[in-house]
Structure 1
Amino acid sequence: MFDHDFHFGFEYLSEEETLEGPLRLTALGVETEWYPDKVTKHNERPIYTYTFLYTIQGSGIVEDEKGIKHVCGKNHAALIFEPSKTKRYPEPGTKEKWRYCWIMFIVTKQTKKYCNQILEKAGIVFYMPPNSMAITSMVDLIIKRRLSLLDSRYLMFAGAYDFLCKLSHEILTERYKFSPMVLEAMKIIEGRFERIDGILEVAEELHVSQNYLTRVFKQECGMTPVKYLLKVRLNYAMELLTSSNETIKEIAKECGFSSESYFVKVFQKKMSISPSDFRRKRKN
């Protein structure tokens, strides 16, 4: 998507470079982050500001206002509403750099509804193939700006609006659906995550090899089925920690973890907080 030897960087645009209208582009570029303790906070922005980012390499965490962490892996996008208390940072425990392209834009109250519909339909983080119309449009916008081919605020507006229209079309019409095999694998994992012994069990039920399932699943979802299973278990664990009075041991068992200690270890690693502290913060 981007030549790693070519430094794109990012830039904020002045008001003179942008055009007032239903959408105004304010920043764009490519960033590489590799320090897990580097946290980008989203605040002090004009009302109705959004940041859209797309992971090119590695993976990062987008933490929403409720403290729930969403993994934004390769070929995954995030739409972040600002001003808000959301944060983003490289995924802890990974050695690979998190590289993503991104744009920031301000919308009117009328245009904001399309962004809200995207968030309602897909959530904060969602899968998008690199050849999607929206991603292609954004990459084209960034490259042309970097090469000084967009020196008109009218062209900047047209490029940004083209991106949002294509993103809305692709998400709201469910243009990108997973293959039947991957959909069935996701269904099995989501329906039986608490008692699945491993991905081999899922592969055998689908009559394919574990390696083949893992390869195709990762191509389409941006993560392995093992990581997807873990994600489902952790999401359910967070629900129970917030809404129930079950003990940590009971929650670990109900979510399919082999032991309380293993659950605590995994939760701490992925969420950067212990289950007990997570429960305490959410209930306070």
Structure 2
Amino acid sequence: MNLNKFLSGKSTLNEYIHRLNQNGASFQVHYWGVMQKHYDNLLHKHSFFEVCYVVEGEGIYIDDNHTYSLQENTLFLSKPEVLHQIKSEKGLFLLYVAFELIESESSEKWIRIMEIAKQCPVIVIQEKDDTPTTLLWKSLLIQASYRKHAFFEEMLSNIAYSLIISILQNFVPSLNHSNLENVPEVYSLLLTQAILYIHDNLASSLKLSEVAKHFHISGRHLSRIFVSELGVSYSKYVLDERIKKAVTLLKKSNLSIKEISEETGFISVQYFTRVFTSMMQISPARFRSLYVDSKTTEFSDN
């Protein structure tokens, strides 16, 4: 293994690859790392994801008071706000990258994916040296070690994005096609139909049992589809959609607060006001006065 090429590639990546934007996802890459001899570090945490790959060596990884063995071809994930530590007596040859999703520039799908990643129970995976993730990582560093040429940054960005997606596939089950092979394709069709039904009928009660009956399945089945494919409960999804529609109506319509509460399916204007205020940290009336009367055309709760 040519360590000099890896080190040279690291420098180039840190110079050129800071942000990745593709397919509704915008990632901020904080740093790329290659370290030939990584020994002990202090117990610490990050506000972002950090993923390490052990090229050579042995050690241990401590994450949230759990200890894991590290060896050649081990891939491990440090999640945001989780205390962790690496220890090695003889040193580890590590590749690592730190990144986070820029939510304001990313789709809701990707925001949900990253929320699932924050909760994933698997954080250490034993890879092989010829899996897509390891090959992409090594290819990226080798490609970055060559002198700049036509489409140099474009090639690096595409490989780097593919690497991040490949890494996430290892830790987020809903992105891992091998975990979806036993799930009937009708699930995706049912989910699409259910989402359309919810969007078109927000003024209705949308009880889980009633919507499930509409599609001739059980409530338990429908609930499971939302959790497995979207990573969110049915009730949470419906409530979020009610609030989103309420925001739109408050900004773009002349309907009264009471009428909006009815249009979005809340049982009373008082309940609507309480839920809206809790989720948006501002009352519906105050929201309208700030963002409609001031002619604001967009609203972000980030």
TM value normalised by structure 2: 0.46
Structure number with higher relative contact order (C-alpha < 8 Å, ≥ 6 residues apart): 1
Structure with higher Rg: it is 2
